[in-house]
């Protein structure tokens, strides 16, 4: 009787097969171009059967998307300096270098073009590749709004569409060079439009008037820097932490102590936002973590998405709740409205 192998050995074998398939897709695409890439060719190069590929991916585009996503993993994160102009230029310069790389740019362009023929690929490209990489810029924009460097009325999503739209235009049409000069030009022009003709941002708002989303982004930034005292300054006295169905932790001092212990045990723990929605002072953040207590391989932890929910009162967090990333929760919290 045939049996299905389970356990660590089977898991390692599956991971080895996945890695071989992703490597084969990248190699073939670089050698022959996306137009000539086939599932049969990928399977032959990786030494697996076609059905092994279809078990994990619905198309050659989906295989290449995951391969490029893993290849580009290092571009997701950005440590901001607090200067929105400098941070924007740095993020755009990194994106331009990446898009201009002949080992990467043409394949991303091919995937973007393929979304016109493969309807299922477009949302996958947005969710898996585009939004995680825009999260660094979203973080910078929200912090700039909280500090008064950008107006609170600015639509960060529209801002990012303008920035990356300029890059994709040159990537797809080849209408000009993708270089450092173009990166600086795009960053300066878009930022100048956002801050006014004189380029002078408005005065910083008081903490109580900071937008709820900006307060949450600041809180996540403090988490990601293990700045527990900074987190405490963003909590109300009766701040409540809830993690799934566990008992709540109530009170600012108790939560500071709890976070201090967690930061000591997991010093590189970070939350990586993908999407953020706000309804009636309640802010929902969909994203993934790295360096957490889950003990998962990094690639697996990045694929595990969660939702954090904050109730914000006068610029401070009244509660911080971790819930499952389910269809019901996404709909209830308004995250599906952003799709």
Mean pLDDT calculated for residue range 58-81: 76
Burial zone of 60 (CB within 10 Å; 0-12 exposed, 13-18 middle, 19+ buried): buried
What was the pLDDT predicted at 204?
40
- Given a cut of 70, whether residue 80 has pLDDT beyond it is no
What was the pLDDT predicted at 168?
92
- The pLDDT mean for the chain works out to 84
What was the pLDDT predicted at 274?
82
What was the pLDDT predicted at 281?
76
Range of lowest pLDDT (1-15, 28-42, 131-145, 234-248): 1-15
What was the pLDDT predicted at 239?
96
Alpha-carbon distance of 172 to 105, in angstroms, equals: 9
Question: Residue 73: pLDDT band by 50, 70, 90 thresholds?
Answer: low
Report pLDDT digits (tens) over 290-311: 889 888 887 888 889 999 999 9
Range of lowest pLDDT (2-6, 217-221, 256-260): 2-6
The angle at the Cα of 225, spanning 219 to 231, to the nearest 5 degrees, equals 35
Range of lowest pLDDT (47-51, 216-220, 316-320): 216-220
Domains in the chain and their CATH numbers? 8-56 (1.10.10.60), 74-195 (1.10.357.10), 212-333 (3.10.450.50)
Question: Residue 277: pLDDT band by 50, 70, 90 thresholds?
Answer: confident
Question: Residue 8: pLDDT band by 50, 70, 90 thresholds?
Answer: low
User: What residue has token string 């909280």?
Assistant: 146
What was the pLDDT predicted at 231?
92
What was the pLDDT predicted at 314?
85
- Given a cut of 60, whether residue 76 has pLDDT beyond it is no
What was the pLDDT predicted at 98?
86
Kind of pairing between the strands at 282-290 and 270-279? antiparallel
Alpha-carbon distance of 143 to 87, in angstroms, equals: 11
- Given a cut of 70, whether residue 74 has pLDDT beyond it is no
Question: Residue 338: pLDDT band by 50, 70, 90 thresholds?
Answer: low
Mean pLDDT calculated for residue range 157-180: 91
Residues in the chain, total = 339
What was the pLDDT predicted at 6?
55
277 with 256: CB under 8 angstroms? no
What was the pLDDT predicted at 215?
82
239 vs 132, higher pLDDT: 239
């Amino acid at each position: 009787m045939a049996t299905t192998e389970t356990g660590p050995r089977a898991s390692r074998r599956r991971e080895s097969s996945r890695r071989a398939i992703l490597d084969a897709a990248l190699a073939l695409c670089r050698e022959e171009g996306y137009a000539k890439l086939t599932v049969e060719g990928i399977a032959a190069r990786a030494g697996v059967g076609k059905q092994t590929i279809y078990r994990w991916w619905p198309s050659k585009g989906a295989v290449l998307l995951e391969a490029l996503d893993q290849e580009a993993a290092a571009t997701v994160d950005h440590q901001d300096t607090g200067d929105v102009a400098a941070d924007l230029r740095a993020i755009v310069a990194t994106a331009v270098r990446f898009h201009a790389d002949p080992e990467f740019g043409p394949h991303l362009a091919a995937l973007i073009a393929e979304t016109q023929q493969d309807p299922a690929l477009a949302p996958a490209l947005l969710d898996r590749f585009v939004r995680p990489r825009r999260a660094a810029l979203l973080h910078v924009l929200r912090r700039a709004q909280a500090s008064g460097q950008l107006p609170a009325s600015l639509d960060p999503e529209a801002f990012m569409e303008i920035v990356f739209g300029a890059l994709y235009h040159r990537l797809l049409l080849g209408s000009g060079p993708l270089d450092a000069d173009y990166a600086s030009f795009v960053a300066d022009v878009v930022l100048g439009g956002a801050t006014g003709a004189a380029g002078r941002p408005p005065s910083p708002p008081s903490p109580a008037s900071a937008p709820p989303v900006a307060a949450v982004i600041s809180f996540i930034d403090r988490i990601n820097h293990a700045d527990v005292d900074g987190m405490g300054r963003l909590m109300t006295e009766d701040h409540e932490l809830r993690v799934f169905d566990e008992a709540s932790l109530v009170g600012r001092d108790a939560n500071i102590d709890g976070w201090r212990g967690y930061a000591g045990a997991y010093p590189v723990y970070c939350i990586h936002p993908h999407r953020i929605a706000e309804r009636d002072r309640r802010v929902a953040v969909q994203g993934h973590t790295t360096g957490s207590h889950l003990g998962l391989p990094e690639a697996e932890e990045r694929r595990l998405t969660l939702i954090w929910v904050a109730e914000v009162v006068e610029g401070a967090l009244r509660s911080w709740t971790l819930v499952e990333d389910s269809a019901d929760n996404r709909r209830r919290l308004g995250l599906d409205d952003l799709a």
